[in-house]
Amino acid sequence: MSLFCLVHGSTQNASCWDRLIPRLEQRGHETVRMNLPANEAEASATRYAEVIAHSIPPEREDVIIVAHSASGLFLPLVPGKRRVQRLVFLAAVIPHIGKSLRDQVNEDKTMFNPDWLGKDPTKDEQLARQFLFHDCSPEATDWALGTMSLMFARQAILEICPLKEWPDVPSSYILCAEDRAIQPQWSRRAARERLGVEAIELPGGHCPYVSRPDQLADALSFIA
């Protein structure tokens, strides 16, 4: 079985994985997680990748890194710092060599839901319910609201992708068919064009580790 390294996105902290972790463990896997440096506005994508890499036990080579949402920016930088088995983009952005995330957003209006751009759901519970947890049970939503934490990775968003070439590591993409943040049509196309794979599709919204952790655990186990 595999060691899953779980990387939270820009609106929650590492506790967001608490509903998924026991499901992965029931399927025989191990997990690690970390809190990214949310208070370092000038941190580069490389800095985030270092934090992720340092959370992985150095002796492990069976590591699958799962990055949610904005943390897809950092994901392909990690193999340059730790040996990993696979990269999994979970409802995530994918970096574009030679461009910044801001460049991507400006050039491709299909990437993000325009009603989501610029919103801060960590300060507005209704936004979180509308865009992140709309497919969750009331109990799961109330729990998830307690995991909210803003990671405003300003420098990582503005910097040109530091990759010179894509890492020689297999990649997978899991999209959410009713995602209200990153648009599913963009995810399908980007997975084919940038990763050379067909996206695995789950029903529901942007945060399947909250709304349907069993289905997500099954999808991750299948990938492993």
Which H/E stretch holds residue 145?
helix 138-145
Task: State how far the Cα of 138 lies from the Cα of 89, in Å rounded to an integer.
Answer: 27
Assess whether pLDDT exceeds 90 at residue 154. no
Assess whether pLDDT exceeds 90 at residue 38. no
What's the gap between Cα 8 and its chain centre?
Answer: 6
Task: State how far the Cα of 202 lies from the Cα of 216, in Å rounded to an integer.
Answer: 8
Mean pLDDT of the chain: 96
When pLDDT is averaged across residues 55-74 and rounded to a whole number, the result is 96
Assess whether pLDDT exceeds 90 at residue 40. no
Question: What fold, for 3-223?
Answer: Rossmann fold (3.40.50)
Domain ranges of the chain: 3-223
The answer to whether the beta carbons of residues 65 and 41 sit under 8 Å apart is: no
Task: State how far the Cα of 121 lies from the Cα of 107, in Å rounded to an integer.
Answer: 25
Task: State how far the Cα of 138 lies from the Cα of 149, in Å rounded to an integer.
Answer: 20
Q: Name residue 12's beta-bridge partners.
A: 148
Tens of pLDDT along 99-134?
999 999 999 999 999 999 999 999 999 999 999 999
Tens of pLDDT along 156-168?
999 999 999 999 9
